[in-house]
Structure 1
Amino acid sequence: MTALKLKIQITCGAEIAMGPGKADLLDAIAQEGSISGAGRLLGMSYRRAWQLVDVMNRCWNEPLVVTSPGSAHGGGARVTPFGTEVLAHYRALQARVDAGARGPDFTALSAALRSEPKATQKD
């Protein structure tokens, strides 16, 4: 089966400000209430999750995630209202791309794509 998959990446300079993985991370932070919990949920280290949050927060006009330091009551993280808005716009844009990507160009590329790569270029 041939799989043609389209994904949206929004760049900020050399960084990816938003993409499918960062969107999933924001959803996980909203669900778990922490960066470490979100990382566990997605199978990534706390360090990697924190790095992705840092990039997002540096790329947008306002932070997408805010953190509170740990204490006896525990710390945590939450997606800001602005982050929720950015995420909603990203998900809506992705849905529009997915819905509109079934035209003749999609069909032509799907037909031309191998289901698996050749073992070598000479095959």
Structure 2
Amino acid sequence: MSPRLRLRLQFEEGARLGPGKADLLEHIGATGSISAAGRAMKMSYTRAWALVEQMNDTFAEPLVSSARGGAKGGGAQLTEAGTAVLTHYRQLEAAAATAGAPQIAAIEALRKGAHDD
């Protein structure tokens, strides 16, 4: 397995946006549900909801909007801001991986066992 780059943004007030939250946003967008997104990530609904609340509190506009379940069912969806944050984050990941590929390869070449065939 080749090394992979994992990117985490640390904001001044201590809030973070990293691969786990980005994946959660992606799953919410795909499933329309915080609980289904949490299940897909082997995460409790409580944990998934707490992460959504953290993200909604971090940004000027909520990233996820939700409606409680019940007879008509609930659901969740990414807001326009949520889609934008996820898109920018994924683009940043791709740019960092591309720009850092030579350095990642050089570091991998220096690892123990990298030359064992």
TM-score, normalised with respect to structure 1: 0.82
**Residues 50 and 114 (structure 1 numbering): CA distance in 2 closer, same or farther, change over 3 Å?**
farther
For 1:77, give the aligned amino acid.
Answer: A
Let me know the Cα RMSD of the aligned residues: 1.6
Counterpart residue number, 1:15:
15
Q: Which residue of 2 aligns with 1:50?
A: 49
Structure 2 residue aligned with 1:112? 110
Query: Which residue of structure 2 lines up, in the alignment, with residue 97 of structure 1?
Result: 96
Name the % identity: 45
Post-superposition offset of 1:48: 1.1
Cα drift, residue 22 of structure 1: 0.8
1:90-118 Cα distance to aligned partner (Å, 9 max, x none): 10110111111122x33332223346xxx
**Aligned partners of 2:64, 2:99: CA distance in 1, in Å?**
31
CA distance in 2, matches of 1:50, 1:97: 29
SS of alignment partner, residue 99 of structure 1: helix
Q: Where does structure 1 differ by over 3 angstroms across 4 or more consecutive aligned residues? A: none
Paired residues in the alignment total 112
User: Residue in 1 aligned with 2:35?
Assistant: 36
Task: Show CA shifts across 1:57-106 (max 9, x none).
Answer: 11111110011122310111111011001100110110111111122x33
Question: Which protein shows a greater Rg?
Answer: 1
Give secondary structure in 2 for the equivalent of 1:29: helix
Q: Which runs of 5+ in 2 are unaligned?
A: none
